[in-house]
Structure 1
């Protein structure tokens, strides 16, 4: 007797054998199709962590052996799809937060097969809480940022990751800029950002100005040092780039050397160390955009865009001479000045005080500023924004000298005090009595009424920076122009500033000779 399947088939009629064979083939085919349909389906774009709602539909991609008749459902609801090069994408609205189920239904010869994936949507950003401001002891000193970040997986402070324990974090920023950014993120990529302002109060100053050449002259330098010894002043302001475009100290800034601006009249490190050794602060005066050396070198070197131009495309003069004003909107011009400011801060200057940080005076419709895409006022403020982090991070403060008229005529020379105050530590208005016209601020003859004009004009500047931590440190007049000025007139201006709550000041005398009797000695 024959046994096994072959014996069984041999003993049955032929038609039965054919039928059984067909069934076997169909079952095998079904299994093959079922295995093929399920194994060939690949779902991409579903990581282990949650997805944001706007990412889910955009990131999910499905690949199958054949895309014909494939249906996609999310939470048992079919969603529209599109196909590109054998890959199926979803076209669906943003999904609500929470768990979801993706189903890919693949047709087969008999019935269909379903591939299922689970995923979670999370579009809720972390809840970040930090203080609004930071107050280091002095420029360049560390600050500690503390806060909480509910729902965050990572927190960065000033670009560096910090540990989060039970939703709380603390990080030390060694050399903070003007602002410190804190960013809390979760695994889905939701972010919450906070910007903390670093507030530093200027220690104040009673200063006189010295040019680079004046500092090399014992005749001019020694009386200033004697004023410091007597406590009549506590700060000396030295030129680090002047109105001629000269850099009077031994600068290593490459462009300054390339264009022949570096004169090396004095050694900056030695001067700073000498004054610091006497307990005297040092301010570097940096004339920014009135720079005929850079202007001429740029124009003749094939870079006219670095120079303020007339409407006809020629170098603007406006009575200042050829190539006098460089273009504050040009990135190379900006960087040149920032490089000098940065070097000065690195050399130990306590402040960098910009002068001529403005457009030329005159009819603006007659001027061209290549590359300017905003108002001149916003452009000047943005330049200060660029400078402050570089100066602050090296332990110095940033000031800006401004015309007195800028307090109520901001567009006349592109000095908007409110905008500039956002990116400076102090504003130094030139409220020289000789520079005001009759009747300004209710003063009949400003030149002969130094107390009244200084007191009234500075009151307007105080209003302009109200609500900020920016100080007003005025430039006062120690020279004669129209009226004769001596100790009494200089003292009247100092008293006016002090009576207005501004005990700090800078004295200007072009010849660098000062009336020391106007200044009370220490004690």
Structure 2
């Protein structure tokens, strides 16, 4: 550059700016993450600009993006190994350019990670996750650091078994590998009877159930959290339950759990999910109409059905889903040993006559399975098992009510099929009169559930009919169903009687 100052001719030498390489991980290694971000950055000092920069890698020109004092050098397709990066900037007619040469090491190969699926003994005790991460310098499991041996083997002790424990292995270059370990904790033998919230508040109904526990004929009580009316049996603190008036306070949850535990039983908390007239009616009235299953023309679904309109909430609605996640979390924190969903389905009927706002392109089956998976994570966090009650027909006809047994079995601890003999049509499974023949219809229908869930960790805990509907049921009929389940290799069960009066003579003391 030339200037004339006070008659004196001055010459200032132009000097191209020194450039620097930025954006490399420690050690100058380009890892997979750097390549995913588009490459590495070349920068000039503050106040300087890069002019006409030409960038080559191993002598071949590569594309650059940006302007001013920073350029991004594209390294797409660059293989692992050592490479030479050269950045040359042009000078002026009175000054030379600047050149930067750097040796780059590209390493995009992640560690080899393998994690074993552990089996825990209890949801409220520790579990150890083991594996091997060859080439890793650091390993975490569920966010906890692991000690990595010279051969890459590691072990991490978790205070409680999550449904899924994610292991992350990182090498010196910063490349990572991830793998999920599915933690299995099998639900121990479960033999329970259904008790509604109001029934538990009745000495006349509660005491016989406690006696069956004390006699060793049962080892659990299924106590309703939220029932078919949408009523919550205890004084729930879940905000939506308070706002809608669903929390009734028929029983003291902590006291009931303590009493059942003292009698030697576990407590299975039943949540009737989407049959919920309280939430449906309150939501419709308050203008939250997408919480409700709709007709194609926008009205509430169910008019003329056995349930009536404003009886089913919309499983695809985020508020409805969160309501059930909140109830499950609250119950597990209170000490319920299991969360058991019921009516976790769409209404029966033609799908063309229903609308589920928010469902989008997701199928009803996948949407419901997704909520089950979310609930399992919540329940597991607080040490509770998760069961899912399903229709008997769902094992062969999953789309009729959106219960995909194979998919659900992968996201819960047990499937509870409602295979009541009185609910089967004549001729199902080749049984002419299922209600009068409880053994064959139970055995044949449960065999399908065993087959459908064979490649999952879910157990089968069937609902057994202990009520009369068309045919009188007593000790013999209840015992026949229990025997049929046992002949299918199923020794757990839940007895259902809406009046909460059970045939203890059908039950044998457990060994």
TM-score when normalising by structure 1? 0.89
Query: Cα distance, 1:68 vs. partner?
Result: 4.3
- Equivalent residue for 1:78, pick from 61, 86, 89: 61
Does structure 2 conserve the Cα–Cα contact (< 8 Å) formed by 1:421 and 1:470? yes
Structure 1: 5+ residue runs without aligned partners? 1-24
Is 1:389 the counterpart of 2:377 in the alignment?
yes
The 1:425/1:48 distance shift into structure 2, 3 A limit, reads: closer
Larger Rg computed on CA atoms? 1
Please list the CA deviations of residues 447-506 of structure 1 after superposition, one character each: whole Å capped at 9, or x if unmatched.
Answer: 110111001111111111012121111111111111111111111111111111111111
Does structure 1 conserve the Cα–Cα contact (< 8 Å) formed by 2:464 and 2:493? yes
Where 1:310 maps in the other structure, the secondary structure is: coil
Q: Map residues 368-387 of structure 1 onto 2, 5 A cutoff.
A: 368-373=355-360, 374-387=362-375
Map of 2:479 onto structure 1? 491
Q: Map residues 265-414 of structure 1 onto 2, 5 A cutoff.
A: 265-317=250-302, 318-373=305-360, 374-414=362-402
Does structure 2 conserve the Cα–Cα contact (< 8 Å) formed by 1:53 and 1:97? no
Where 1:263 maps in the other structure, the secondary structure is: coil
Map of 1:141 onto structure 2? 125
Where 1:492 maps in the other structure, the secondary structure is: helix
Query: Cα distance, 1:287 vs. partner?
Result: 0.4
Map of 1:21 onto structure 2? none
Map of 1:106 onto structure 2? 89
Map of 1:40 onto structure 2? 18
Is 1:437 the counterpart of 2:425 in the alignment?
yes
Please list the CA deviations of residues 354-397 of structure 1 after superposition, one character each: whole Å capped at 9, or x if unmatched.
Answer: 11010000111000111013111111111100100111121110
Q: Distance in 1 between matches of 2:161 and 2:383?
A: 10
Map of 2:3 onto structure 1? none
Q: Distance in 1 between matches of 2:487 and 2:214?
A: 26
Query: Cα distance, 1:326 vs. partner?
Result: 0.5
Query: Cα distance, 1:171 vs. partner?
Result: 1.5
The 1:121/1:487 distance shift into structure 2, 3 A limit, reads: same
Q: Flag the structure with higher helix content.
A: 1
Is 1:254 the counterpart of 2:254 in the alignment?
no
Does structure 1 conserve the Cα–Cα contact (< 8 Å) formed by 2:115 and 2:180? no
Q: Distance in 2 between matches of 1:351 and 1:439?
A: 35
Map of 1:90 onto structure 2? 73
Deviates more, 1:453-462 or 1:180-189: 180-189
Where 1:224 maps in the other structure, the secondary structure is: helix
Query: Cα distance, 1:202 vs. partner?
Result: 1.1
Q: Map residues 172-183 of structure 1 onto 2, 5 A cutoff.
A: 172-183=157-168
Where 2:30 maps in the other structure, the secondary structure is: coil
Map of 1:6 onto structure 2? none
Is 1:515 the counterpart of 2:503 in the alignment?
yes
Q: Distance in 2 between matches of 1:331 and 1:175?
A: 28
Is 1:130 the counterpart of 2:115 in the alignment?
yes
Q: Map residues 135-214 of structure 1 onto 2, 5 A cutoff.
A: 135-166=119-150, 167-214=152-199
Does structure 2 conserve the Cα–Cα contact (< 8 Å) formed by 1:53 and 1:94? no
Deviates more, 1:377-386 or 1:229-238: 229-238
Query: Cα distance, 1:223 vs. partner?
Result: 1.5
Please list the CA deviations of residues 290-341 of structure 1 after superposition, one character each: whole Å capped at 9, or x if unmatched.
Answer: 0111111111111101000111111112331231001111111111111111
Query: Cα distance, 1:112 vs. partner?
Result: 5.2
Q: Distance in 1 between matches of 2:64 and 2:237?
A: 63
Q: Distance in 1 between matches of 2:502 and 2:228?
A: 21
**Number of equivalent positions:** 492
Map of 1:215 onto structure 2? 200
TM-score when normalising by structure 2? 0.91
Query: Cα distance, 1:84 vs. partner?
Result: 2.1
Query: Cα distance, 1:434 vs. partner?
Result: 0.4
Q: Distance in 1 between matches of 2:293 and 2:429?
A: 33
The 1:60/1:234 distance shift into structure 2, 3 A limit, reads: same
Does structure 1 conserve the Cα–Cα contact (< 8 Å) formed by 2:33 and 2:175? no
The 1:67/1:424 distance shift into structure 2, 3 A limit, reads: closer
RMSD: 2.1
